[in-house]
Amino acid sequence: MNNFNFYSPTEFVFGKGREDETGRYVKKYGGTKVLIHYGGGSVVRSGLLDRVKRSLTENGVAFAELGGVQPNPRDTLVYKGIDLCRSEGVDFILAVGGGSTIDSSKAIAIGVPYDGDFWDFYSGKHATEALPVATVLTIAAAGSEGSGNSVITKEEGMLKRGTGSDVLRPRFSIMNPELTQTLPSYQTACGATDIMAHVFERYFTNTTEVEITDRLCEAVLLTMVKETPRVIADPDNYDARANIMWAGTVAHTNIVGVGRDQDWNSHGIEHELSALYDCAHGAGLAVIMPAWMEFVYKHNVMRFCQMATRVFGCQMNFESPETTALEGIRRFRSFLHGIGMPINFRELGAKEEDIPALVEKFGLGDGRTYGFVRLSSDDIAEIYRIAARAEL
């Protein structure tokens, strides 16, 4: 196991009706003038926004508001948010929504105290200062409610890039699983796929002797395999929703990934798809992640056998471990298909002829990525090709 620090300062406020306590928590963490940031309207329609505003007012907290965050959140709205915060004297950002809204809020939070262009932080600069951010989460997916990460798309050239810093970790996150019951099943499934991908990015490691994190990863994956079909079949199943919501956070605070090298190539490869086609991140991952697995499994067949036997219930074939490894990957893809996810380019709305452009935008040049298997540009092109043509 590698040396590590684990820092997860967020206070998670979990359960039914907890959004009514938002104002109290903003006060606890020192907010006096809040920017409420939200998406395309789901929180208006559900009445959540009104409940959050009421809670702030009851606690004497003033607020400004800015809606309109799109999935794959854009830099253009971030600039607006930064200007608004400066002119209104905002000292606390409250994201009410999903990963896109939270990531946009984090971008505003680092932009406000910074003299230069906030995009600098999405081009390699490390953030050391930000306004405090908190969240009221409405979808179990990105894990941004507990992570120090943010992913923004620059509209000019549709460049999707991320940043990470502990100053972006939310002060608190309110997590009421009931709020996710209004999600269309496609979005629920996209979220579930993203959660599983966050675990797999950590599970496939070259670090040995990491039993505790292996087992934690498997616990989250087994939970997702059990609970996701339950919520797809019955969207109002509170307990299944609750398990998935907490799984989403556990998957991405890094508690399942400490002490081990991680991969994250599937995320990088997917981000080019959601940047080019503006598809849901989870849907892109459903197409990419099994294709990546098929490309790399020979690097450590036994690790894929471990996934196949422990997570997807395969029988170990000792004469032919490769058969077991491939069966595990096949079951993963079939699971994704079963919850309504696309499994190839056609189903995602992507085009095979765009592969050279996708690889070029990935921007690897002559180098290789880091991770479980260090990929060249040719390798990435091959993964896109496997993804393009995948069938059950």
- Give residues in contact with ligand NZQ (CB under 6 A): 39-43, 71-72, 97-101, 103, 138-139, 141-144, 147, 149-151, 179-180, 182-183, 187, 190-191, 194, 252, 267, 281-282
| 227 in contact with Zn ion (CB under 5 A) | no
Residue 54: half-sphere exposure toward Cβ, Cα within 13 Å: 8
- Nearest residue (CB) to Zn ion, 95 versus 314: 95
Minimum gap (Å) between residue 106 Cβ and ligand NZQ: 7
Cβ proximity of 193 and 221 under 8 Å: no
Tokens of residue 83, six digits = 């200007």
Integer Cα distance of 99 and 69 in angstroms: 10
- Nearest residue (CB) to Zn ion, 202 versus 333: 202
Minimum gap (Å) between residue 87 Cβ and Zn ion: 33
Answer with the entry of Zn ion, ligand NZQ, none that 100 interacts with (C-beta below 5 to 8 A by kind). Answer: ligand NZQ
Determine the size of the site formed for Zn ion (CB under 5 A). Answer: 1
Answer with the entry of ligand NZQ, Zn ion, none that 101 interacts with (C-beta below 5 to 8 A by kind). Answer: ligand NZQ
Cβ proximity of 293 and 377 under 8 Å: no
Answer with the entry of Zn ion, ligand NZQ, none that 103 interacts with (C-beta below 5 to 8 A by kind). Answer: ligand NZQ
Ramachandran category for residue 99: left, alpha or beta (phi over 0 → left; psi -120 to 50 → alpha):
alpha
DSSP string, 10-41: PEEEESTTGGGGHHHHHHHTT-SEEEEEE-SS
Integer Cα distance of 294 and 307 in angstroms: 13
- Nearest residue (CB) to Zn ion, 192 versus 380: 192
Integer Cα distance of 332 and 338 in angstroms: 10
- Nearest residue (CB) to Zn ion, 52 versus 288: 288
Answer with the entry of Zn ion, ligand NZQ, none that 40 interacts with (C-beta below 5 to 8 A by kind). Answer: ligand NZQ
Stretch that binds Zn ion, among 120-128, 190-198, 298-306, 340-348 (CB under 5 A): 190-198
Would you call 64 helix, strand, or coil by DSSP?
strand
Minimum gap (Å) between residue 194 Cβ and Zn ion: 4
Number of neighbouring beta carbons within 10 Å of residue 263: 22
Minimum gap (Å) between residue 270 Cβ and ligand NZQ: 8
Residues 6+ apart with CB under 8 A from 117: none
Minimum gap (Å) between residue 364 Cβ and ligand NZQ: 19
Q: Which of 145, 194, 272, 294 binds Zn ion (CB under 5 A)?
A: 194
